[in-house]
Structure 1
Amino acid sequence: MKYAFAGNRDIAYNILSYLIAEGYKPSALAILDDSDLSTKLTEISGLKKKKIYKGKDFFAEETINDLKKMDLDYIFGIHYPLIIPKEILTIAKIGFINLHPAFLPYNRGWHTPSWAIINNTKYGATLHFMSEKLDMGDIIHQIEIEISPDDTAHKLYSRVLKLEEELFKKALPDLLSLNPSRVPQDINLGDCHSKKDIKKIQQIELEQKVTYLEAIDKFRALTTNDVNEAAYFIKDGRKFVIQVNITEIK
């Protein structure tokens, strides 16, 4: 199996480490920036500098020509946040494979645990072919997990990151066959959210009538690792944010 790897965050490091440990080294690597994580990815890849592409250099014409010469079976995208152009999507013989923290077709796009809680949808992890339309490609494998009443978006995301690694490892034999499963998504199901959509639901209107359940779900859905994504209200010209911790007592 010949592949290029485009990754970001610790999950990308863990999955690339796993692939290399299993005997599958990348032919090329796309990193986001000069962060410590990108340095770690570079080091474990064992690749020469000319086979490592940073940021939008990954989309340059010279890079595209280089990748075409590598006779790649796959390009793996692991939490790689840049929009992939069509010219890159079509390079690998089998396809560009993406790992997404959601149970597609539900919650395409950004802030998947937040929207899963808000909309009470199915949640999990999905390995799928990447298409020009965001998170709309055929599904290879997926695993669903239950959303617990004590889950915040941050807690749920931490759980799904572990699930994504488990999913990729389970799917590896299928990928190695070079003929992985392909199940088209039902385009009539699910939803898609941009990165900015979360801002539309953050402000609390203090006079609005809601149920306790609706309020709790909103607060926990907006409790992430970033206080700037939290629910907030304005009182006497001052802004207050709300982040919650929910604990089950047995």
Structure 2
Amino acid sequence: MNSVKIVFMGTPEFAVFSLEALLDRGYDVVGVVTQPDRPKGRKRELAPTPVKAYALERGLPVLQPEKLRAPEGVAAVTALSPDLIVTAAYGQILPKSVLELPRFGCINVHGSLLPRYRGGAPIQRSIIDGEKKTGVTLMYMAEGLDTGDMISKVEVPIENEDTAGSMFGKLSEAGAALLVEWLPRILDGSAGRTPQNGDEATYAPNLSRDDERLDWNEPSRRLFDRVRGLNPMAGGFTTLNGEVFKIWGARVPTADDAKLSAASAALPPGTVLESGANGIRVRTGDGSLVLTEVQPAGKKALAAAEFAKGARLTTETRLG
């Protein structure tokens, strides 16, 4: 069955693991579809997607339609005559004309335990929401947003020290393993399919600038989860002296040092309570949060303790 012609669709590093697994198992990937090159960095130079870069390394033809549902996009995929389409974080919804192309259907490696966290940012939002576990779902694709029948799932715990970056790594590996485990059964028709319960569905839309803003009125744990859910993609941000001040790392104080003095408890959320070798401690809605890695406007990220050395932060300093 490895002679089955597969078209792979994916964009970020998450998808590279699944593409690599297919190739290493000897499957015939006849083409790769990924998002167009986008400008990146301060110089705004066009950069290939991780999937494109990897596909070119492996000598695979790459398609980059601006809109897959446009006639030229559909025609380009049709010309590859796929028997199966495999997607992983591609970033566009497949039109019905593409879904109906392959005889074995279209399957997707999705980074959540469906029907929870349908959408484009399931990994980040599961961390931001304080979930203790997430996972990967292998599913058949349908016209709706991540609404297709499920083939299999694997759970992955979210540890306290995990960030979106570390979870992307864990789920990338889990998704690739799940894909190649089930692919033989998908191709011989023995995989089966389980409809999703739409009543249990939640959604994970792509993150906006508002999602990155830290509201110091929120509880410490909520702020901590938001910071790690935004690392290393965008980072959480607040303001310091009227300028953007990014927060890349933080920790919730332990029970022993979480108690606030009467004077500290009277200060408004966002107030800097302490700064020094242990980081920058900030008043929150229910206590405090210790910042461990920060990035002042126009500067590189650095340890909060290093920043505190020359920043002259006092209890008169208020973030946000």
Quickly name the TM-score band, shorter chain normalised.
0.7 to 0.9
Match of 2:55 in 1: 41
Bigger fraction of residues in helix: 1
Match of 1:236 in 2: 241
For 2:163 and 2:57, how far apart are their aligned partners in 1?
35
Q: 1:203 to 1:19 in 2, by over 3 A?
A: closer
**Structure 1 vs Structure 2 CA RMSD:** 2.8
Q: 1:14 to 1:110 in 2, by over 3 A?
A: closer
The structure 2 residue matched to 1:219, chosen from 227, 231, 234, is 227
Once the two structures are superposed, residues 117-146 of structure 1 have per-residue CA deviations (whole angstroms, 9 ceiling, x without a partner) of 232344111111122211111111110111
For 2:142 and 2:31, how far apart are their aligned partners in 1?
21
Stretch moving more, 26-35 or 124-133:
26-35
For 1:72 and 1:204, how far apart are their aligned partners in 2?
46
Relative to the length of structure 1, the TM-score reads 0.80
Match of 2:95 in 1: 85
Computing the radius of gyration from Cα coordinates, the structure with the larger value is 2
Bigger fraction of residues in strand: 2
Q: Paired residues, what number?
A: 237
Q: 1:137 to 1:45 in 2, by over 3 A?
A: farther
Stretch moving more, 30-39 or 76-85:
30-39
* Conservation of the 8 A alpha-carbon contact between 2:130 and 2:225: no
Match of 2:308 in 1: none
With a CA cutoff of 8 Å and minimum separation of 6, indicate the structure with the bigger relative contact order. 1
Q: What are structure 2's unaligned runs of at least 5 residues? A: 38-47, 253-320
Listed as ranges, the matches of 1:170-181 within 5 Å are: 170-181=181-192
Structure 2 residue 28 is the aligned partner of structure 1 residue 25? yes
* Conservation of the 8 A alpha-carbon contact between 1:130 and 1:136: yes
- Tell me, what secondary structure is at the counterpart of 2:198? coil
- Tell me, what secondary structure is at the counterpart of 1:97? strand
For 1:218 and 1:71, how far apart are their aligned partners in 2?
43
For 1:88 and 1:139, how far apart are their aligned partners in 2?
19
Give the aligned residue type for 2:88: I
- Tell me, what secondary structure is at the counterpart of 2:136? strand
Q: What are structure 1's unaligned runs of at least 5 residues? A: none
For 1:240 and 1:63, how far apart are their aligned partners in 2?
41
Q: 1:23 to 1:161 in 2, by over 3 A?
A: closer
* Conservation of the 8 A alpha-carbon contact between 2:14 and 2:88: yes
For 1:141 and 1:117, how far apart are their aligned partners in 2?
22
For 2:239 and 2:75, how far apart are their aligned partners in 1?
53
For 2:178 and 2:214, how far apart are their aligned partners in 1?
37
Match of 2:116 in 1: 106
- Percent of aligned pairs sharing the same letter: 24
Structure 2 residue 106 is the aligned partner of structure 1 residue 96? yes
**1:204, CA displacement in angstroms?**
2.6
